[in-house]
Amino acid sequence: MKITLDEAAKIIGDAQTIILTSHIRPDGDSIGSTLGLMHYLRAQGKDARVLIDDDLPRIFKVLPGLEMIERPAEGVRYTADLLIVCDVELKRTGNVVSSVDAVRVLNIDHHVTNDEEAEYLYLNPDYAATCEIMHDLIGAMGGTFSLDVATCLYTGMATDTGFFRFSNTTPHTMRAAADLIEVGVKPNIISVAMELKSYDEVMAQVRAIRNLEMFHDGMVAAVFIDEEKAKEVTTTEGLLDKLRVIEGTQVVFFMKWLEKDTYRVSMRSKGTNVSRIAQGFGGGGHVRAAGCTIYAPFDEAKKKILAAIGEELNR
């Protein structure tokens, strides 16, 4: 059932024990929105904790309280008055949703592809980030931002907007970010932390870019990483930002080997609806940034994704 932000605030107000979670392959917005709201709720005297069913990339060490995020233990049942699923629909939280017995479940998201299965859903794709929703949610609860809350929320807003450069950046996004900077967030510290790479990661990116191929008359730039190449391309972090700048491209993406006949695809576009392409393979995301997993042998997976993109370009 879709609800308003005020109704979401009321549901949270009624709960005392609260578990927050988000998607696997965590990013700045998923970690920032859960951890930021956790800090706020704890300051209100609530018993709040964050469960995320994945490893946390080390760049997020800049976020206060990162070490408090727990990975659900196998076979353990967690109970709470309320489970809040942030920045994703319920089914993409790994084992969290199935491990938690909660009286109520609230889903807060900004992804247009949300499956709307949640008992209570606040969904608004006009927001650039779930952290931007959290900014307004805390406002709706009559709260203010501690530096810990502000640091977490700012980080998610910054990463989901490419540091306020992507088309999802609105006047509201900038005003919300300004509120957080006023509390004391230092944008340079967050951006330096988010962009930090080891020497090995930089070299992995160089090796990835060596596999660059162009398709559809230069409108598509892609990097395909098969099982063999995956051994030396250990990270794809930031790779699409390097491809996006190529003149004439409409869609850029990479397809990377995960396991036998399983490939992860991550896409960015300058307007082409890549979320529709991702949905065709059971994935999701936003119009200009989306991802999916393709289950097929390498050559077939490559052919399928290129055909789907070609079709969308010709719509």
Q: Which two tokens stand for residue 179?
A: 């509120």
Output 168 or 249, the one with its CB closest to Mn ion: 168
Output 99 or 161, the one with its CB closest to Mn ion: 161
Min separation Cβ 197 and Mn ion, Å: 22
Contact status, residue 289 vs residue 295, Cβ threshold 8 Å: no
Output 17 or 124, the one with its CB closest to Mn ion: 124
Min separation Cβ 194 and Mn ion, Å: 14
3-state SS, one letter per residue, for 90-122:
HHHCCCHHHHEEEEEEEEEECCCCCCCCCCEEE
For residue 120, the tally of other CB atoms under 10 A from its CB is: 17
Q: 89, 148, 160, 226: which one contacts Mn ion (CB under 5 A)?
A: 160
**111-130 binders of Mn ion (CB under 5 A):** 129-130
Rg for the chain, CA atoms, rounded: 19
Output 34 or 249, the one with its CB closest to Mn ion: 34
Min separation Cβ 156 and Mn ion, Å: 7
- Does an H or E element contain 133, and which? helix 130-140
> Should residue 109 be labelled a site residue for Mn ion when binding is judged by CB under 5 A?
no
Q: Which two tokens stand for residue 112?
A: 């247009």
> Should residue 132 be labelled a site residue for Mn ion when binding is judged by CB under 5 A?
no
Q: Which two tokens stand for residue 313?
A: 């370009």
Output 152 or 221, the one with its CB closest to Mn ion: 152
**186-245 binders of Mn ion (CB under 5 A):** none
> Should residue 29 be labelled a site residue for Mn ion when binding is judged by CB under 5 A?
yes
Min separation Cβ 311 and Mn ion, Å: 27
**73-102 binders of Mn ion (CB under 5 A):** 87
Min separation Cβ 87 and Mn ion, Å: 4
Nearest residue by C-beta to Mn ion? 29
The candidate with the shortest Cα–Cα distance to 243, out of 216, 213, 273, is: 213
Output 31 or 51, the one with its CB closest to Mn ion: 31
DSSP string, 159-171: HHTTTTTSTT--H
Which stretch in 26-34, 56-64, 228-236, 261-269 sits in contact with Mn ion by CB under 5 A?
26-34
Residues that bind Mn ion (CB under 5 A): 29, 87, 129-130, 160
